[in-house]
Amino acid sequence: MTAPRDPRGRPRLLLATRNPDKIREIRAIYAHLALDIVTLRDHPGVGELPEPGGTYAENAVSKAAAASAATGLPAIADDSGIEIDALGGAPGPRSRRFLGDEATDADRNRHVLDLLRDVPDDRRTARYRAAIAVVVPGREPRLFEGVCPGRVARAPRGTGGFGYDPLFVAAPDGRTMAELSFDEKNRISHRARGLRAAEPYLVSELLGDRGEEGSAPGANTG
């Protein structure tokens, strides 16, 4: 298919989110691609996107499909969460809604720490999981996944990131996601891994052989 293009001839890709932290991460990860990346902030007429809530995949596909249908653009959406083994994999797909829509990240982090107060370090294993859905008009939705293993710290640490990042220890040296630099997080995070898995499909469907920003036709896009 021929994707809508910007004045420079770059195909447009819609990020089906208004979350500024996600937007910053995704734009950085795909910065080398010759894409015009826009977001729902550029399309204020698009309402809230449906999230059925059953699985990451259902939520991601639902959001990407709704955003693409409303704008006519190829769209990409993610749904992600933290899975804590001592809580039976909770909160999982309900991570953002763990305490209801009015709760803050700090509220959710405090609640997790309360639930794990008596759990020893060797049982505080967890993982971040992300489902990435790509919907190109006229094509079936495609799904990709990224997983980042780790454990839950005993107290929040760090000021970067968002969500459960101050609690999630992923680095070998024991730092939380919130203590990593922006570039370090984008090398190891669940979302980054899922987005990189989706990249060959985006290149094939939207860019053909154009590949990276500034690349000559036929250049290796990695």
For 221, half-sphere exposure in the C-beta direction (CA atoms, 13 angstrom radius) is: 25
Structure tokens at 194: 């899922």
End-to-end CA distance of the chain: 22
Q: Is 167 in contact with 112 (CB distance < 8 Å)?
A: yes
Active site residue 79: yes
User: Backbone phi, then psi, for 166, in 5-degree steps?
Assistant: -65, -15
Taking the C-alpha atoms of residue 143 and residue 135, their distance in angstroms, rounded to an integer, is 9
* Burial readout 21-38 (b: 16 or more C-beta within 10 A, e: otherwise): ebbebbeebbeebbbbbb
> In what helix (H) or strand (E) does residue 144 lie, and over which residues does it extend?
strand 142-152
Residues contacting 176, CB < 8 A, separation 6+: 153, 156, 157, 158, 165, 166, 167, 168, 169, 170
Residue of 79, 101, 107, 209 marked active site? 79
**What number of other Cβ atoms are within 10 A of residue 199's Cβ?**
19
- Residues serving a catalytic function are 79
